[in-house]
């Protein structure tokens, strides 16, 4: 069965510091991979997605993620965190060759940003 | 494009009562998904539709849960005889449903509290 593991429940970083959120997946093939962000009272917003091709993908708000097949990982990074990045981040997988199937989400990583 | 909307945003009900939530997808989207999110967890898939056809409902949590999308536009999720364990955020998402790279857009959710 497909599963997504986000090992870090909560991360605190200083504003301006770099950020890496970890995501590992279990899937029979290379799935489609997504990172979503959820702010309090808001719906999930897609940050970036990987379907195929270049393993380093760029997203919105200065985020990027790197797909590593050998490690079954899709870690999210940002070089300099802003206070407005404080939110819950979810990694998700979808069936390959179909971006329209239900997604399987990790449990999320809550990001706190301190001055 | 007004995004995915959900109503109500909050619902407090007493155990044993029935509740119904509504989701209005982005107008041209023909796929609609329901997810449930409990505290500290990522969204969990419940069911989804392609137009008015329900493609998957085995993941609905019990026979107390049902969903409809009668005209292929808005959808309703009903929970009968609510239990305290049903307290959660219920999320709706929609996608264009064509091609394999269509992303899912999420609504703000309906937060259900069962007392």
pLDDT tens-digit readout, A75-87:
999 999 999 999 9
Report the percent of chain A where pLDDT is more than 70.
97
Pick the residue from chain A with its C-alpha nearest to B55: A101
- Residue A7 burial by CB count (10 A; 0-12/13-18/19+): exposed, middle or buried? exposed
| Residues B41, B37: Cα–Cα separation, whole Å | 6
Residue B58 with chain A: CB contacts under 8 Å: none
Closest among B2, B3, B1, B7 to B109, alpha carbons compared: B7
Q: Let me know the angle formed at the C-alpha of A42 by A36 and A45, rounded to the nearest 5 degrees.
A: 25
Q: What is the pLDDT along chain B (115 residues), one digit of tens a residue?
A: 579 999 999 999 999 999 999 999 999 899 999 999 999 899 999 999 999 999 888 788 889 999 999 988 999 999 999 999 999 999 999 998 666 667 899 999 999 999 9
CB atoms within 10 A of CB B43: 29
Q: What is the pLDDT of residues A53-109, one digit of tens each?
A: 899 999 999 999 999 999 999 999 999 999 999 999 999 998 876 656 789 999 999
pLDDT mean across residues, chain A: 92
For B56, the token pair is 């998957």
The DSSP H or E segment spanning B8 is none
The minimum CA-CA distance between B81 and chain A, rounded to whole Å, is 27
Contact A98 B4 (CB under 8 A): no
Q: Which of A49, A99, A102 sits opposite B56 (nearest CB)?
A: A102
* Nearest-by-Cβ selection for A51 from B33, B44, B101: B101
CA A72 to chain centre: 13
pLDDT of residue A100: 66
Interface touch A44/B45, C-beta < 8 Å: no
Residues from chain B contacting residue A97 (CB–CB below 8 Å): 100
Which of A21, A32, A44 to mutate to probe the B interface, most B CBs <10 Å?
A44
Q: How far is A35 from chain B (nearest CA, A)?
A: 11
Inter-chain contact B91–A43, Cβ cutoff 8 Å? yes
Helix (H, G, I), strand (E, B) or coil at A58: strand
Nearest CB to A105; choose among B43, B99, B100: B43
Q: What are the phi and psi torsion angles at A69 (to 5°)?
A: -60, -40
- Out of A9, A44, A106, closest to residue B106 by CB: A44
Sign of the Cα pseudo-torsion (A56, A112, A3, B85, in order): negative
The distance of B43 to chain A (nearest Cα, Å) reads 6
């Amino acid at each position: 069965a497909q599963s997504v593991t986000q090992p870090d429940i909560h991360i605190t970083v200083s504003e301006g510091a770099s950020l890496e959120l970890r995501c590992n997946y279990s899937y029979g093939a290379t799935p489609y991979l997504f990172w979503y962000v959820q702010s309090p009272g808001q719906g999930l917003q897609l940050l970036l997605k990987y379907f195929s091709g270049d393993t380093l993908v760029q997203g919105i708000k200065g985020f990027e993620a790197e797909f590593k097949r050998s490690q079954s990982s899709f870690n999210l990074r940002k070089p300099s965190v802003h206070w407005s990045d404080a939110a819950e981040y979810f990694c998700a997988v979808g069936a390959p060759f179909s971006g329209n199937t239900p997604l399987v989400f990790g449990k999320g990583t809550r990001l706190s940003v301190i001055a | 494009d007004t995004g995915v909307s959900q109503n109500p945003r909050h619902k407090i009900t007493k155990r044993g009562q029935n509740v119904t939530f509504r989701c209005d997808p982005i107008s041209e989207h023909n796929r609609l998904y329901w997810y449930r999110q409990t505290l500290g967890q990522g969204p969990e898939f419940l069911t989804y539709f392609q137009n008015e056809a329900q493609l998957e409902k085995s993941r609905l949590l019990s026979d107390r849960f049902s969903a409809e999308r009668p005209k292929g536009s808005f959808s309703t999720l009903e929970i009968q005889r609510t239990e305290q364990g049903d307290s959660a955020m219920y999320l709706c998402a929609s996608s264009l449903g064509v091609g394999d790279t269509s992303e899912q857009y999420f609504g703000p959710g309906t937060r259900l509290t069962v007392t």
